[in-house]
Amino acid sequence: MIRAFRGELVKLLRHRVLLLTALAVVVVAVGGAAIVLLGADPAGPGSTGQDLTLESLADAGGGTEVFRRAASFAGFFMFVVFVGAVAIEFGRGTFRTMVLRQPARIRLLAGKMAALLAYSGVVLAVTLVLTWIAARLIAPSQNIDTSAWMSLGGLTAGIADYGAVLFWVTGYAILGMLLAVLTRSVPVALAVGIAWAGPFEHLLQDAWDPASQVFPGLLLEAFIAGGTPDVDATRAFLTVAVYVAVAAGIASVSISRRDVTA
């Protein structure tokens, strides 16, 4: 597993990958902060604790709540990235080569995913800091007092928001990995992933009310939003955790028992 972890990091730390990642981080941090702050409205009679308002943004966790909300815009993108990152190994035939060097396939897959998630964790930490800075620069234009953001409560809220986004990314990563392992084809995996995570779940949500409490993509959206009228954040977290465990189990069985022919 350690060798697979290190090997994946070698690919992730290439100059081109780092450059593209840095560009994506800046766009998400600055653009996300602007969209969230400019889209917030004053609290009204119909506002709930789940609504993002100018008043709630002035709380201690307002700065990192901007990061959490901005990250939620990229859920579909995250799913597609992880699907492609795993499926491409089968499409290029490199997974077969890796198996020759590391016959323990489950450890090989676990090392790859651990490296991807470790890289994602560092990227998320940098994104959080840049989003917080961008939000603090933009906030005065919306008459948002940011003095509480630098308190101990702000730090605590920041750790909680970072953990929530990391769990959210992990959910998409494991579900994307499962799809990639089962299809073993980049075009097929991306086609199924885009169709499912994009319109399919939301169309079912419009036609069937319990869909919000059942489908993983909708549950991940509910969790990162802090809960919705249909499902609270705790229930979304627990249900997604079950999905992640089941997906990891199915992927492990599939990767260990199916032949790698390409």
Alpha-helical regions (H) of 75-185: 75-91, 94-101, 105-138, 152-183
At 76, list the tokens: 């579909």
Q: Which of 106-110, 112-116, 201-205 has the highest mean pLDDT?
A: 112-116
With respect to residue 42, please indicate whether it lies within any of the assigned structural domains: yes
State how far Cα 158 lies from the chain centre: 17
With respect to residue 142, please indicate whether it lies within any of the assigned structural domains: yes
139 vs 141: CA distance, rounded Å: 5
Mean pLDDT of 252-257: 85
Going from the C-alpha of 23 to that of each of 13, 20, 28, 29, 124, the distances in angstroms are 15, 5, 9, 10, 13
- Other residues' Cβ atoms within 10 Å of the Cβ of residue 141: 10
Range of weakest confidence among 118-122, 172-176, 208-212: 208-212
Q: What is the value of pTM for the model shown?
A: 0.88
Burial environment of residue 247 by CB neighbours within 10 A (0 to 12, 13 to 18, 19 or more): buried
Evaluate if residue 45 carries a pLDDT over 70: no
- Which pLDDT belongs to residue 47? 53
What pLDDT band is residue 137 in, cutting at 50, 70 and 90? very high
With respect to residue 58, please indicate whether it lies within any of the assigned structural domains: yes
233 vs 170: CA distance, rounded Å: 16
- Which pLDDT belongs to residue 130? 95
Mean pLDDT score of the chain, rounded to an integer?
Answer: 85
Which residues, 6 or more positions from 82, have their beta carbon under 8 angstroms from its beta carbon?
116, 172, 173, 175, 176, 177, 180
Top-confidence residue, 41 or 160: 160
- Which pLDDT belongs to residue 105? 80
What pLDDT band is residue 212 in, cutting at 50, 70 and 90? confident
What pLDDT band is residue 121 in, cutting at 50, 70 and 90? very high
Evaluate if residue 48 carries a pLDDT over 80: no
With respect to residue 113, please indicate whether it lies within any of the assigned structural domains: yes
For residue 136, how many C-alpha atoms fall within 13 Å in the half-sphere facing its CB? 16
243 vs 139: CA distance, rounded Å: 38
Q: Which of 80-89, 147-156, 182-191 has the highest mean pLDDT?
A: 147-156
251 vs 248: CA distance, rounded Å: 5
Evaluate if residue 262 carries a pLDDT over 80: no
Number of residues written out for the chain: 262
With respect to residue 262, please indicate whether it lies within any of the assigned structural domains: no
> Could you list the residue range(s) of the whole structural domain that residue 250 is in?
2-257
Mean pLDDT of 111-138: 92
Contact 8, 115 (CB under 8 A): yes
With respect to residue 221, please indicate whether it lies within any of the assigned structural domains: yes
Q: How many domains does the chain have?
A: 1
- Which pLDDT belongs to residue 49? 55
Buried b / exposed e over 197-235, threshold 16 CB at 10 Å, is: beeebeeebeeeeebbeebbbbbbbbbbbbbbebbebee
